[in-house]
Amino acid sequence: MAEEGYALPTPIQEQCIPLILEGRDILGTAQTGTGKTAAFALPILQMLSGRPRSSGRGAPRVLVLAPTRELAAQIDDSLRAYGRHLAIRHTVVFGGVNQARQVTALDRGVDILTATPGRLLDLVEQGYIHLDRVEHLVLDEVDRMLDMGFIPDVRRVLALLPSRRQTLFFSATMPRCMEDLARSIVRDPVRVAVSPGVPVVEMIDQKVAFVEKKNKDALLIHLLSDPGVTKVLVFTQMKHTANKLVKKLSVHGIQATAIHGNKSQSVRTKSLEEFRRGGIRVLVATDLAARGLDVDEITHVINYDLPVEAETYVHRIGRTARAGAGGDAISICCMEDLEQLRAIDRLLGAPVPVLDGHPFHWEEALRLRAPVQAPFGRNVVRTRRTQTASRRRPSPPHRR
């Protein structure tokens, strides 16, 4: 792990790793950016290396289920990094691309298979994957699977697995319906919770910028003119809005690319890679990327459109301030967005602070915005009150 820059484990890694090594089932609640992938990948790699076994064709020992192609690919990338010195084979399968390369990798033998539910079941039905030798099952971001309608597919997968297995169940939230689902899957689990209830995003400086709708584009360009805004994820509601913004930004000399459901998997992968390595400064995305997008050193998240669901706001802004670093989140709010903003304020238990030092500030919004009372007993998302959007951030405590 020293090669990956880790010096100390995150809280979820510190709690999960010993339990997984003991063979316990885990019922985990953790927001994104807490080091969850390493929390299950490291002990699994250690257990497999201590119990070597010939990897059968299409018969994995470990199955990791993820809701999106991007998250599945990132988990497989992490396994490659963490296990580079181990003789453990891993691969990833997901839809949206030709299956030929995936089948070839499966035929070579695989110890750890990361998959999205749909493509996994397709390959099982075609006889390329056999799940009767799975020893460890990881279900990652199960609440997202529920949102995307994958739970029936997940149940079909579960029916194909051996009953004697270790199951690791992770979700960012744990409402009653999720808890009932989890209890039907895990056996005598240990509950591990990092930031239970409403996730606490302490290291993110949150601001809301009020503006008339006609000035949204101008405000975004103004925000991006700050030289401290160096690596930016911009969220939109609609795919066509994302495309429009990329064109608008390019006219103003701002390098940007978009990812959303209408883009092919190869184009999305290429765009993400360019963004990761810094070739593209701004990535414009729909909520496809709200969870599972793990890119280091995103300095700012800008909500060009506020999300329909308040919980999605927390997942969006969690793309910055990864692994203990700081970050900024700026939400652009028009008259049409006030109700969504009120819902976000209620979820957080406090109003998002106002960014009023920009040339398009809409003063009328301050009168229309209702005050928020913090709910009794609820965790409040705390924000750092800073005056400027660009500043030096502390180094993550668990990285060198």
Per CATH, 2-193 and 204-368 having the same topology is answered yes
Instruction: Provide the residue type at 149 as one letter.
Output: G
Element (H, E) at 265: helix 265-277
Q: Are strands 190-193 and 26-29 parallel, antiparallel or unpaired?
A: parallel
Model pLDDT, residue 121:
97
- Cα(278)–Cα(288) distance, rounded to whole angstroms? 21
In the block, residue with structure tokens 């993550």 = 396
Pick the closest to residue 228 from 303, 295, 300, 294 (CA basis).
300
Task: Give the pLDDT confidence of 229-247 residue by residue, as tens digits.
Answer: 999 999 999 999 999 999 9
337 within 8 A of 369, measured Cβ to Cβ? no
Neighbouring-strand partners of residue 92: 114
Highest mean pLDDT among 4-8, 290-294, 345-349, 369-373: 345-349
Q: Is the pLDDT of residue 61 over 50?
A: yes
pLDDT value, residue 62: 98
Distance separating alpha carbons of residues 138 and 171, to the nearest angstrom = 11
Query: For residue 388, what pLDDT is reported?
Result: 34
Does residue 400 surpass a pLDDT of 70? no
* Single-letter amino acid, residue 44: I
Q: pLDDT: is 31 or 390 the higher one?
A: 31
Residue 318: what residue type?
Answer: G
Asked if 199 and 33 touch (Cβ cutoff 8 Å), the reply is no
Q: Give pTM, 2 decimals.
A: 0.66
Please state the φ and ψ torsions of residue 376, each to the nearest 5 degrees: -60, 130
Alpha carbon separation from 113 to 58, 135, 143, 151 (Å, rounded): 9, 12, 21, 19
Q: 302-346, pLDDT tens digit by residue?
A: 999 999 888 788 888 988 876 556 789 999 999 999 999 999 998
Look up residue 366 and give its two tokens: 């301050």
Query: pLDDT confidence of 349, banded at 50, 70, 90?
Result: confident
Q: Which of 49-58, 278-287, 387-396 has the lowest mean pLDDT?
A: 387-396
Dihedral over Cα of 50, 110, 266, 75: its sign: negative
pLDDT score at 39 = 95
Ordered by start, the domain boundaries in the chain are: 2-193, 204-368
* Rounded Cα–Cα distance for residues 158 and 152 (Å): 10
| pLDDT top residue among 320 and 283 | 283
Handedness of CA 294, 295, 297, 299 (dihedral sign): negative
Q: What pLDDT does residue 287 have?
A: 84
The predicted structure's pLDDT at residue 378: 37
Pick the CATH number of 2-193 from 3.10.20.70, 3.40.30.10, 3.40.1370.10, 3.40.50.300: 3.40.50.300
For the chain, the first-to-last Cα distance in angstroms comes to 11
Fold for the domain defined by 204-368:
Rossmann fold (3.40.50)
